[in-house]
């Protein structure tokens, strides 16, 4: 027994040596270094004694050796393989769990395989047990060890044992095993290792828990975070912006169970004066600035500005340079302009024209304007006074953008000094002297002297007849007189004026029982006289008939002459438009029966096929299959991208057909990542288009559905969409060419309405033009087109509708029909005749709806034949059954094309009445110039009209485009809009006169 024990001990000792120190090489199977681990215990890092408990004391051995750097290597060994019933315990010190809920225990050990030990009996084991015990504090020194208190974590077996290499080395395989322990509820725990008769060397024990380590992401700092026990739920962590950064969207990360950060959301951006560098926000250097928070770099100071300090949000202007209040900090600093150059004048009859050149130095700005200061000087040595308000400047005395101004109503025989000052957005900043150009002008020609006494000849409720004495000795022929008048009560708040060539006038349109003030002045080639003193006269009351005999004669004569003129004008108008009107009327009658059906829905023509709604198919891909040819993608060559559709790019390319010439095509693609619904919606257009066969409808070549990308291939239209094509070629076409385009569109629409298809989004942007100017209707797909159309807006009923193009009944209660398509067609006519102008200009959608409801209709575009505007007005009948059908439209346009002289009468040439007042749409009656300009969104020109003496609607009705230009409307688009509206107004005025109203 003693000999065998001795042998056993010797062997145990040898084995210990073999276990640990006979190792020639240690092969590490795993890499234990992880930054997301918080170490609670690492035996390899403990410098002093470990002080672990063994039970019984001769079970586990603690062996501490020193490595090359003189650091201790703590090893625990046990190898009682020869003795049965082993129960040897090794217990760690108390390990506080800190923030951990779950801990990981990593053991590195060697375990000898029993077969490799000579003479071992069946008592040899190849496993050991790992156990733990939770407690809130370490057990006291005298506490007894109770093995039963420990809970088992796992039985640990070796993966590897001693092995022999080919070279005969003895290689000790070091096992690494990791076990999870938790949840741990108490403040700490003990680990225990139970040996039941194995030969083990425990080389190291590491205990750690996992955390998501503090990190910087998207300029936000995230703290160390311990994951949840439950590995499927993440911990949401809010980041804090780094210094000099600010939140855009709340920065967030999620901490996963393995200590990895997941799903970054939100971000911070560097504040003003700071830029991002290596995850931090650093101050801009001197001479650089950053005016806005964001992840952009600091910029160099703009010209004429500087920043001496770091972290500048703004660069300051150099001396003498400024920024206007509205200038962004990114712009260069600028200065006031120098004075205008080469100021000259030219007197032409009653107008003095001042002209100059722009200043040599604009100060670096583009917002140059000019102000005119006028002074009138008496004789030599006499002082100069500011010009009184009766000198008129056209377009105005201040804020001029052109380098000229016309002066009117100046006094004859006077000296004037004019100063022209150039200004820009920074004029008046700083103390720089004003830079002006001066000129002194003498109006040498003698002007007329004062008008004599003004008398009232008679008055009625609404009129006063005046006469006055001619100037005593006029030095020049009097061209005319101007009578300025206003209500005494209103005293100059607003005034009206009228002109007459004789020294008398009947001022009409006055209020009954109201006192008016009158001034009269004369005009000769040399200019105006000053106004006469004021004369007060009142109109009669409602009951009085204070009209002199002479007055009655005048009224009767005026009425007779007026009536006769109206008769002549009316006859002329009937001659011009009668044929068209008659045509439309007779056509309307013959179609009356069909119209009722048309109003209620589609009635197919016998023998004409009917459109099939692909949505009625149970399987939408069957509709595609039925109506569209599948094209082999190898036949398609894509050449370039020409646009972007809702579903993907639109490209141009070529389509090869065996035995035929390659054809140019447009290819609509469906971008990757689409849903089934998007694919169905995309292909719906092909199932619709594939049913059409008409030269004015875009032709479908086929589809690619069996490979990616999914494509719709249609004929190529060289000139793209009609609206942009017209805008690009403004004014380039003859009326006949434009009518030809309109005829094509109407013919395409006639085909669609015949087969029962309602387009719902007919607009110039949805018409394509080929290189022969043939127009074809495109963009099909029912509701989808409206989603796609940038013009479509949501109505109060929730639908998305292109308001400006849509008939009122379709907007109000979604009654879409071929009749509502006809309304849209009228708008397309207007778009074509105005070369792509936006219908109703900048009016809001809400205002468009209201004004249509009130009876307002778009006026004829400039240069539009009367016949076409009449057709537009018919398309815009409120009552949809009254609108023409597309058949009517096509034959009407055909007649016009066959008889081009019918297109010669332009709206601006018509000074007569329409065929009958019932045919006139119910236009609103404007009451003042201001209202009228407001209604066409041209209010900015109110002062130009008033300053030029156009104070009544009557007075503007004879204005030509030249007049409009002359009063200072310089933009061609605005000139057009005003002139078109004047033409319509002229018709309205005639209509109103005929009905006996006064405007």
Q: Alpha-carbon distance 396 to 945, whole Å? A: 11
Return left, alpha or beta for 949; rule: phi > 0 is left, psi -120 to 50 is alpha, else beta: left
The nearest distance, CB 228 to ligand ADE, in angstroms, is 54
- Eight-class DSSP state of 197: S
The nearest distance, CB 714 to ligand ADE, in angstroms, is 5
- What the block records as the tokens of 507 is 């001022």
Helix-then-strand count for the chain, H and E = 18, 52
Contact by Cβ (8 Å): 978, 929: no
Q: Alpha-carbon distance 100 to 224, whole Å? A: 12
Of 130 and 722, nearer to ligand ADE (C-beta) is 722
Q: Alpha-carbon distance 150 to 161, whole Å? A: 28
Of 420 and 713, nearer to ligand ADE (C-beta) is 713
Of 576 and 752, nearer to ligand ADE (C-beta) is 752
Q: What is the DSSP string of 662-718?
A: -EEEEEEE--SS--HHHHHHHHHHHHHHTT---TTBPPEEEEE-SSSSPEEEEE--T
> Is 956 within any annotated ligand binding site?
no
Of 635 and 965, nearer to ligand ADE (C-beta) is 635
> Is 275 within any annotated ligand binding site?
no
* Preceding omega of 308 cis (within 30 degrees of 0): no
The nearest distance, CB 772 to ligand ADE, in angstroms, is 14
Q: Alpha-carbon distance 863 to 904, whole Å? A: 10
The nearest distance, CB 721 to ligand ADE, in angstroms, is 7
Which of 895, 853, 888 is CA-nearest to residue 874?
A: 888
Of 364 and 720, nearer to ligand ADE (C-beta) is 720
Half-sphere exposure of 427 (CA within 13 A, CB side): 22
Residue appearing with tokens 């029912």: 782
The nearest distance, CB 628 to ligand ADE, in angstroms, is 15
> Is 645 within any annotated ligand binding site?
yes
Of 373 and 774, nearer to ligand ADE (C-beta) is 774
The nearest distance, CB 717 to ligand ADE, in angstroms, is 4
> Is 507 within any annotated ligand binding site?
no
Helix (H, G, I), strand (E, B) or coil at 603: coil
- What the block records as the tokens of 938 is 């041209």
Q: Alpha-carbon distance 893 to 735, whole Å? A: 12
Q: Which residues pair with 198 in a beta bridge?
A: 125
- Eight-class DSSP state of 136: S
The nearest distance, CB 780 to ligand ADE, in angstroms, is 12
Q: Please enumerate in sequence order all residues whose Cβ is within 8 A of that of 554, keeping only pairs 6 or more positions apart, or say none.
A: 465, 506
Contact by Cβ (8 Å): 400, 372: yes
Which of 454, 482, 449, 478 is CA-nearest to residue 468?
A: 454
> Is 650 within any annotated ligand binding site?
yes
Of 656 and 965, nearer to ligand ADE (C-beta) is 656
Q: Alpha-carbon distance 644 to 368, whole Å? A: 40
Q: Which residues pair with 429 in a beta bridge?
A: none
Of 396 and 635, nearer to ligand ADE (C-beta) is 635
* 726 φ/ψ angles, rounded to the nearest 5 degrees: -70, -40
CA 656 remoteness from chain centre? 40
> Is 644 within any annotated ligand binding site?
yes
Of 205 and 763, nearer to ligand ADE (C-beta) is 763
Q: Alpha-carbon distance 972 to 961, whole Å? A: 10
The nearest distance, CB 350 to ligand ADE, in angstroms, is 56
The nearest distance, CB 711 to ligand ADE, in angstroms, is 13
The nearest distance, CB 650 to ligand ADE, in angstroms, is 5
The nearest distance, CB 984 to ligand ADE, in angstroms, is 35
Sign of CA dihedral 314, 316, 321, 322: positive
The nearest distance, CB 751 to ligand ADE, in angstroms, is 18
Return left, alpha or beta for 308; rule: phi > 0 is left, psi -120 to 50 is alpha, else beta: alpha
Sign of CA dihedral 148, 154, 156, 157: positive
Of 347 and 650, nearer to ligand ADE (C-beta) is 650
Q: Which residues pair with 485 in a beta bridge?
A: 496, 518
* Preceding omega of 56 cis (within 30 degrees of 0): yes
Instruction: Count other C-beta atoms under 10 Å from residue 987's C-beta.
Output: 24
Q: In what helix (H) or strand (E) does residue 317 lie, and over which residues does it extend?
A: strand 316-317
> Is 642 within any annotated ligand binding site?
yes
> Is 180 within any annotated ligand binding site?
no
> Is 122 within any annotated ligand binding site?
no
Residue facing ligand ADE at closest CB distance = 666
Q: Give residues in contact with ligand ADE (CB under 6 A).
A: 642-643, 650, 666, 698, 714, 716-717, 720, 768
Residues carrying an active site annotation: 761
Residue appearing with tokens 């006063």: 464
Of 257 and 642, nearer to ligand ADE (C-beta) is 642
Return left, alpha or beta for 296; rule: phi > 0 is left, psi -120 to 50 is alpha, else beta: beta
- Eight-class DSSP state of 389: T
Of 251 and 653, nearer to ligand ADE (C-beta) is 653
Q: In what helix (H) or strand (E) does residue 800 lie, and over which residues does it extend?
A: strand 800-801
Contact by Cβ (8 Å): 745, 725: no
Q: Please enumerate in sequence order all residues whose Cβ is within 8 A of that of 976, keeping only pairs 6 or more positions apart, or say none.
A: 834, 837, 861, 862, 961
Q: Which residues pair with 497 in a beta bridge?
A: 484
> Is 68 within any annotated ligand binding site?
no
Residue appearing with tokens 């692909």: 614
| Residue set of the binding site | 642-650, 668
| Residue set of the binding site for ATP | 642-650, 668
């Amino acid at each position: 027994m003693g000999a065998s024990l001795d042998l056993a001990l010797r062997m145990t000792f040898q084995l210990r040596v073999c276990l640990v120190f006979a190792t020639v090489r240690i092969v590490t199977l795993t890499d234990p270094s992880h930054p997301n681990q918080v170490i609670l215990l690492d035996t390899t890092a403990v410098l002093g004694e470990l002080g672990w408990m063994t039970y019984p004391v001769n079970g586990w051995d603690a062996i501490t050796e020193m490595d090359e750097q003189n650091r201790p290597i703590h090893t625990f060994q046990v190898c009682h393989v020869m003795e049965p019933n082993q129960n040897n315990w090794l217990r760690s010190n108390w390990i506080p769990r800190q923030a951990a809920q779950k801990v990981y225990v990593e053991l590195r050990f060697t375990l000898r395989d029993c077969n490799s030990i000579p003479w071992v009996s069946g008592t040899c084991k190849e496993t050991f047990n790992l156990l733990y015990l939770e407690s809130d504090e370490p057990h006291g020194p005298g506490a007894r060890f109770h093995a039963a208190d420990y809970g088992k974590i796992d039985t640990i077996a070796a993966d590897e044992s001693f092995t022999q290499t080919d070279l005969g080395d003895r290689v000790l395989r070091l096992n690494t095993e990791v076990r999870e322990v938790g949840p741990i509820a108490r403040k700490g725990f003990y680990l225990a290792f139970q040996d039941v008769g194995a030969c083990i060397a425990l080389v190291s024990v590491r205990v750690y828990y996992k955390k998501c380590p503090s990190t910087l992401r998207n300029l936000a700092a995230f703290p160390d975070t311990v994951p949840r026990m439950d590995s499927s739920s993440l911990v949401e962590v809010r980041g804090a912006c780094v210094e000099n950064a600010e939140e855009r969207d709340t920065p967030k990360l999620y901490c996963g169970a393995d200590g990895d950060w997941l799903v970054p959301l939100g971000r911070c951006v560097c504040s003003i004066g700071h830029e991002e560098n290596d995850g931090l926000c650093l101050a801009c250097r001197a001479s650089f600035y950053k005016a806005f928070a964001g992840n952009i770099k600091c910029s160099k100071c703009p010209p004429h500005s500087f920043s001496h300090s770091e972290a500048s949000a703004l660069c300051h202007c150099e001396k003498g340079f400024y920024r206007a209040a509205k200038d962004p900090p990114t712009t260069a600093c600028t200065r006031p302009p120098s004075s205008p150059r080469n100021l000259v004048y030219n007197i032409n009859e009653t107008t003095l024209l001042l002209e100059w050149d722009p200043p040599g130095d604009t100060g670096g700005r583009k917002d140059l304007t000019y102000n005119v200061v006028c002074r009138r000087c008496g004789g030599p040595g006499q002082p100069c006074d500011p010009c009184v308000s009766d000198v008129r400047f056209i377009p105005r005395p201040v804020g001029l953008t052109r380098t000229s101004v016309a002066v009117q109503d100046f006094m004859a025989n006077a000296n004037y000094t004019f100063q022209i000052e150039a200004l820009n957005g920074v004029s008046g900043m700083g103390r720089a002297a004003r830079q002006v150009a001066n000129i002194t002008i003498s109006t040498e020609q003698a002007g007329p002297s004062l008008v004599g006494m003004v008398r009232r000849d008679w008055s009625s409720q609404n009129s006063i007849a005046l006469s006055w004495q001619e100037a005593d000795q006029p030095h020049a022929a009097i061209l005319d007189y101007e009578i300025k008048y206003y209500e005494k009560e209103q005293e100059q708040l607003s005034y009206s004026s009228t002109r007459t060539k004789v020294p008398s006038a009947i001022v009409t349109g006055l209020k009954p029982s109201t006192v008016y003030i009158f001034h009269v002045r004369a005009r000769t080639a040399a200019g105006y006289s000053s106004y006469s003193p004021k004369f007060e006269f009142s109109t009669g009351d409602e009951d009085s008939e204070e009209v002199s005999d002479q007055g009655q004669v005048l009224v009767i004569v005026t009425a007779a002459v007026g009536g006769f003129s109206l008769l002549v004008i009316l006859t002329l108008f009937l001659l011009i438009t009668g044929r068209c009107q008659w045509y439309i009327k007779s056509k309307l009658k013959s179609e009356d029966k069909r119209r009722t059906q048309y109003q209620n829905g589609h009635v197919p023509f016998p023998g004409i096929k009917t459109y099939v709604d692909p949505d009625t198919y149970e399987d939408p891909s069957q509709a595609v299959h039925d109506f569209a040819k599948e094209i082999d993608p190898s036949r398609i060559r894509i050449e370039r991208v020409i646009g972007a559709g809702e579903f993907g790019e639109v490209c141009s390319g070529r389509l090869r057909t065996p035995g035929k010439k390659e054809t140019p095509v447009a290819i609509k693609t469906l971008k990757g990542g689409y849903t089934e619904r998007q694919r169905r919606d995309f292909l719906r257009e092909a199932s619709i288009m594939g049913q059409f066969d008409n030269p004015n409808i875009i032709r479908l070549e086929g589809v690619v559905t069996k490979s990616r990308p999914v494509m719709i291939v249609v004929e190529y239209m060289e000139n793209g969409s009609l609206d942009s094509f017209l805008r690009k070629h403004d004014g380039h076409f003859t009326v006949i060419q434009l009518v030809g385009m309109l005829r094509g569109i109407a013919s395409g629409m006639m085909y669609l309405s015949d087969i029962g298809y309602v387009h719902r989004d007919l607009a110039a942007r949805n018409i394509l033009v080929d290189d022969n100017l043939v127009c074809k209707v495109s963009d099909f797909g029912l509701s989808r087109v409206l989603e796609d159309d940038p013009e479509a807006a949501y109505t109060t009923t929730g639908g998305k509708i292109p308001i400006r193009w849509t008939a009122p009944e379709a907007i109000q209660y979604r009654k879409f029909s071929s009749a509502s398509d006809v309304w849209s067609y009228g708008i397309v006519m207007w778009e074509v005749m105005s070369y792509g102008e936006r219908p109703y200009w900048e009016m809001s959608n809400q205002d468009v709806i209201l004004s249509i409801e009130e009876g307002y209709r778009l006026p004829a575009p400039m240069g539009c034949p009367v016949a076409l505007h009449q057709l537009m007005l018919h398309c815009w009948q409120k009552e949809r059954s009254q609108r023409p059908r597309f058949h009517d439209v096509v034959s009407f346009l055909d007649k016009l094309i066959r008889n081009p002289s019918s297109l010669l009468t332009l709206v601006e040439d018509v000074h007569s009445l329409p065929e009958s007042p019932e045919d006139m749409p119910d236009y609103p009656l404007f009451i003042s110039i201001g209202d009228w300009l407001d209604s066409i969104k041209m209010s900015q020109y109110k002062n130009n009209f008033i300053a030029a003496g156009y104070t009544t609607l009557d007075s503007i009705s004879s204005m030509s485009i030249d007049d409009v230009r002359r009063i200072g409307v310089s933009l061609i688009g605005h000139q057009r809009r005003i002139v078109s509206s004047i033409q319509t107004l002229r018709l309205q005025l005639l209509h109103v006169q005929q009905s006996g109203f006064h405007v």
